[in-house]
Amino acid sequence: MNIQIIAVGKMKEKYLTQGIAEYAKRLTPYIKLTLTEVPDEKAPEQLSASEEEQVKRREGERILAHLKPDTYVVATAIEGELWTSDKLAQHIEELATYGRSQIAFVIGGSLGLSDEVLQRANLKISFGRFTYPHQLLRLVLVEQVYRVVKIIRGEPYHK
């Protein structure tokens, strides 16, 4: 199984980078994990609604450029469905069973994902109704991918 995480912006915090690296290392025996960063769009703090849409569209174009046509896309979006780790594991296992071994999780920038990316997504999931910094969400997502793999394999995972 090939899992790609495409995220807007560069990782800046060392402790988050270290956490992601640790889970990526743990995943090495099980799956091929690719972490792809696309540049965020530089913009002032105060934006009009149309300027916000332009920023999201530009970031979205960068995300879409990394997606292959046969990739199953999971968008992280606050308005997405709330799933448990077990439900996500079951869904990914079903995808693999039916030959969908290319899966990409997408994390937007500070303004979220463009409409084009959300339309391309096969699934939209939410990690809760809280707003997370997109860098922290990367760590949470990599941990969840690791947890999902352990669930699918029936292996213990320390809580």
Binding-site annotation, residues for S-adenosyl-L-methionine: 108
DSSP assignment letter at 39:
P
Question: Counting Cβ atoms within 10 Å, is residue 148 exposed (0-12), middle (13-18) or buried (19+)?
Answer: buried
- The CA distance from 100 to 80, in Å, is 21
pLDDT digits (tens, 9 = 90+) for 37-81: 999 998 878 888 999 999 999 999 999 999 999 999 999 999 999
pLDDT in tens, 111-127: 999 999 999 999 999 99
Q: Which residues, including other chains, have CB under 8 Å from residue 41's CB and lie 6 or more apart?
A: 54, 55, 58, 59, 109
Across 1-17, average pLDDT: 95
Q: Give the residue ranges of the annotated binding site.
A: 108
pTM, two decimal places: 0.94
